[in-house]
Every structure is written in C-alpha cells, then in structure tokens.
Amino acid sequence: MNAKNNRVNHLFQIVHFLVGSCHTADGAYSLLCDLREDRELALKNVASSILRCQAKRLRAEKMTRCWWSKAKRLDGRADLAEIDAFAEVGAKNVAAAESELADINWCIEQLQPLRKFADLPDHEAHEKCQDEEWLLELINRAENHILMHGSIPADEFNTMRMHPRYKDEIAPRLAAMDKASRSEEGRAHMFVALSKKDQGPASALIESDQSTRKLLN
C-alpha cells in the first residue's frame, strides 16, 4: 500500500519507515530536516503558482470574449474549466502539505531532547552523526544478511571494511554473529533478539503520548 492522499508521506510512514530506518536521534533529525525543507519549498512555490494561475485565468477570460473566433472562445472556456478543476485539487495539496509539515515539525520537536549534537549548527550536526549512524546501519545490514542468508554480499562487506570503526566494532560483531548463525539454536536466538530490538529513534515518537499511539497503532 502506498496511498499518498495529496501528501508525500503519511505520519505512519514518517515515523515507522523513515525515522524508523535511522539508528540515532541525530540521524533521524537530519532526515527530517530534508523532509521539512521539501515541504517548505512546496508551500513557498504555491505563491508563484497562484500568480501564474491568475494570469492564465485573465488570458482565458479574454479568449472567451473573442467574437471573431468560436474556437478561441471554446479554448478559453476549456482553460477556465481546467483552472477551476485544478484549483480544488491544489487547495487539497496545500492543506495536505501544511499538515505533513506540522507532522514533521512535531517529530523534530520530540527528538530534540534525545540528540547528541543539538548544540551544533545543523550543517555540523548532520556531519557529526554520520559516523555512528553508518556504524549502526552497517551492523543492521549484517544482521539481516547473516540471519536470512548466512553470509554478507561482497559489496556490502567492502563497505563495512571502509568504515573507520570496522576493526574495533564491526569485525568483532560480524564474528560473533557468524558463530551464532552456525547452529539452529544460535540462529533462533538471533531471530528472537533481533525481533525484540526497538525501532531506535522511532520508538520515542511512538511512545511519546497516548494520542500518538492511538494514531499509529
């Protein structure tokens, strides 16, 4: 299911699949900043779209008064009908974008207390979170590959080796996972352990208040 309903993402998708794909509050904040900028830009573009639509309406109305050409009069009426049709959809899009922006800002507000780099300017915080976010992402990919297939694809393994914390943190984790996966009991234990993992920063949003739990569950 991927219904848009005039939005880019519903709150459910933002929380569970976008923020839920992040491993740190700062990583989630960085992603949410991109989402916020996209919705803010869309709303800012509405002003120019309204002006263009007004200009198009003036030209269409003039065409409807073209006494020497019935074709131009019909074209004008067709343009006016088209403008009116898109105006209704446009109003829904604006309302949806405003609602989505409010949801994104709510998520950002909830995550702010959990961030490690909240005291830094955004461009520095976005950079600072990359190390840990990528470390946890690569470990997460390794868990999925080993649990599902018993091995890690060569290109993924090569990416893991490029991380500066590969030797001290990733490699030992890979060895432990590989050892555990070699027995049915170990694989079962891994499956249970991974099933119990929380959703990282998304957990803070899901559990933030009763009304949100009702909305998302």
pLDDT digits (tens, 9 = 90+) for 78-92: 988 988 888 888 888
Rounded to whole angstroms, how far apart are CA atoms 144 and 106? 31
Q: Which amino acid is at 15?
A: V
The rounded mean pLDDT for the chain is 89
Buried b (16+ CB within 10 A) or exposed e, 110-146: bbeeebebeeeeeeebbeebeeebbbbbbbebbbebb
CB atoms under 10 Å from CB of 36, counted, come to 17
The dihedral region occupied by 144, where left means phi > 0, alpha psi between -120 and 50, and beta the remainder, is alpha
pLDDT digits (tens, 9 = 90+) for 96-111: 999 999 999 999 999 9
- The confidence score (pLDDT) of residue 214 equals 46
- The confidence score (pLDDT) of residue 212 equals 54
Mean pLDDT, residues 64-86: 87
Mean pLDDT, residues 22-29: 96
- The confidence score (pLDDT) of residue 139 equals 95
- The confidence score (pLDDT) of residue 15 equals 93
Evaluate if residue 209 carries a pLDDT over 70.
no
Annotated domain spans of the chain: 11-118, 125-198
Handedness of CA 126, 131, 136, 139 (dihedral sign): positive
189: Cβ–Cβ under 8 A, 6 or more apart, which residues?
180
Whole-model pTM: value is 0.84
Q: Confirm if 152 and 178 have CB atoms less than 8 A apart.
A: no
Evaluate if residue 161 carries a pLDDT over 70.
yes
Mean pLDDT, residues 138-157: 93
Of 12-26, 114-128, 189-203, the range with the lowest mean pLDDT is 189-203
Mean pLDDT, residues 42-67: 87
Evaluate if residue 215 carries a pLDDT over 80.
no
